[in-house]
Structure formats: structure tokens, C-alpha cells
Amino acid sequence: MIHPTQTTSSFIGVDVYSPILRAALVKGDGSVLERRQAALDSDASVSPQVERLVTELRDAAGATPVIGIGLGIPGLIDPQTNRIVIASDLPAVLRGDLGAELQRATKLPAVLVNDANAAAYGEYMVGAGRGSRNMFYVTIGSGVGGALILDGKLWLGATGFAGEFGHITIDPEGNECVCGNRGCLETVAAAPNIVRRTHERLNRDSTSSLSRLALNRNFTATDIAREARTGDDFALMMIERTGKFIGTAVAVVINLLNIERIVFGGGVMEAGELILNPIAIEAKRRSFQPCFEATQLVAATLGADAVPVGAALLARDTTQKSVP
């Protein structure tokens, strides 16, 4: 057997996400050799769809042996069983045993991990988390998630579900959340909720460039960020208010964990400083000063590679552990 620490070996990481499945062939040092992507049909069996990308990447790998597969899943994973417990956006994966099916089909070990955990590990190993030992990762995209690296290791918690940053209550009287609570951060800061809040206010303000955009098509959080960058006051206010909500939850992490670094990733963070600044201002206002001063707030650097790279590196570590 080839030892996985050989620099010539590689791993496949997959972001199992609807509507786009993203896979990467990743070297043991975290560098990406090849990328593949395909549309994901979230109602159909997921394993064969992933398998096709794995096959393509193994072909691309040529003589470089592929040692294992890591799968980033938008849901809760039980680390004991390697099975999905909850994945509301992927109904089909709950019907089967994705890890086992993929292992049978590819003859490679396949480890499942929550996608925020995967992204956090990617950023920690080769992205914006490098050089820290303790890091919190925040992802603001179609959902809001978090993950925790403590003393250089992914902190999974008692049953594998740690890091549910999106379900921190930031307004006790706020909107109902899918989780059953009220006023979770996700109810205001996830991309679809930013869009909803913007629409609600837009009815009262027709001077924004977003009003004109709304006449033609549904706009997205990315549109709001772009209009904010080009100087639209209203769009900027929406981004800033969103940053303020996120900052309230970030202060909680700073106060509880006195954490060295917080890395911000996910689609909404493409707004860059426009959103990172109000996050920092609110986090500072709402956290204990000595804790705030000890924390670096930085933007993620891996972009869409974060989940595949992190998942591949977790597959690397799992495989290495099981090698005698």
C-alpha cells in the first residue's frame, strides 16, 4: 500500500451542494490539481452523481494514486456512523448511505463532514486561518453556518454538531426560523433573507437602483452587494445592517471563546470590506474589550475551493489515522 503522506498521493474533495456539485483533486499539501463540477439533482440518488466526478478526477490524476474521498454536506453528520442526520436541502441523500454507496462504487474510503466544518478546515490548513491555532469560521451564504478549530483540530462537540452559528438568537422577538426558534441570525443574514428584507424595505424607497432592477427580474444578495459597491445608498444600508446583525453574533463567539481568529467566508462575504467593517464595528461594540482586542477578523481566501479542499484534507487525516 502507498503511504498517504507521500507527496505524490492525492485526495478528492467534493462540495455536495445543490444546484452545483463541485469536486477537486487535492494534493496532500492542500494544493488543487484539478477541478470538476456538475449540476446536482437533489431529488435523485446523489451517490452516482458524485461518482461520475470522482471517476473524471481519477482519470485526470493519471499515475498519482487517489487515497480517499471527503464529502462536504450541507447538514448534520454523525461522526460515529459517517451518516447524515439532517440535510434539509438534499432530500435524496437521506434515503441512502452516501458514504457506503460511494465506497462500494469507488473502492475508496469516503468520509462525510458538515460543509462548514470542511470549509473551516480548508481555510485553517491552507487559507485565511494559516498561522493560527484556534479559529472560528463563519459562512454567510444561502444559509449561515460556523465551525470551530481548537488547538489545531476541528471541534465537533459531543455528537458532531458544534458550530451552529446561524442559530444564535440575535433578536428574541424576531422572525420564526426553520429550526423552531425565533430571531436566529440566519433569519436575517442568510442570502435569501437579505433579499427578502431588501424587498420589504424597497417598497418604501423607490430611489434605489435596486428598484429599477426589481422591475426586470428577481435580484440576489450578490446584486445588492454590487449595487452597494457602485454607490447605491439603499443597497449599502442593507449590507451594513446585515453586517450589524452578524457582528452581534460574532461578539458572542468572541466573549465565549476568546478566540484568536475569525474567518468569514460564503457568498455574502464577497461584499468584502463593505460587510466586514460593519461586522467588526458591531462586534467591538458588543464584546468584552480585552476579548475583542485578542481577535483577528479576516476574510476567507479560498472561495469556492474551501469545501472541496477542506473535505479532501479531512479525508487525508482520516486515512492517515487508519494507516497502521
Q: Which of 1, 63, 80, 172 binds a copy of itself (CB under 8 A)?
A: 172
Distance separating alpha carbons of residues 259 and 149, to the nearest angstrom: 10
CA atoms in the 13 A half-sphere facing the CB of 80 = 6
Minimum gap (Å) between residue 248 Cβ and a copy of itself: 6
Give the other-Cβ count within 10 Å of 154's Cβ.
22
Minimum gap (Å) between residue 101 Cβ and a copy of itself: 23
Minimum gap (Å) between residue 74 Cβ and a copy of itself: 14
For residue 305, the one-letter residue type is D
Pairing mode of beta strands 66-73, 32-39: unpaired
Q: How many residues does the chain have?
A: 324
Distance separating alpha carbons of residues 167 and 181, to the nearest angstrom: 8
Q: Print the binding letters for residues 246-265 with a copy of itself: x by CB under 8 A, - otherwise.
A: --x--xxx-xxxxxx-----
61 contacts a copy of itself (rule: CB under 8 A): no
Distance separating alpha carbons of residues 154 and 148, to the nearest angstrom: 6
Cell numbers given for 226: 454590487
Q: Among all chains, which residue has been given the C-alpha cell 468584552?
A: 288
Minimum gap (Å) between residue 56 Cβ and a copy of itself: 35
Q: Which of residues 263-322 bind a copy of itself (CB under 8 A)?
A: 285-291, 294-295
Q: Print the binding letters for residues 85-114 with a copy of itself: x by CB under 8 A, - otherwise.
A: xx----------------------------
Cell numbers given for 122: 480548508
Q: Print the binding letters for residues 68-87 with a copy of itself: x by CB under 8 A, - otherwise.
A: --------x--------xx-
Q: Which of 58, 83, 182, 226 binds a copy of itself (CB under 8 A)?
A: 182
- Residues near a copy of itself (CB under 8 A), total: 47
Distance separating alpha carbons of residues 287 and 41, to the nearest angstrom: 43
Residues at the interface with a copy of itself (CB under 8 A): 76, 85-86, 134, 146, 148, 150, 155-165, 167-172, 179-182, 248, 251-253, 255-260, 285-291, 294-295
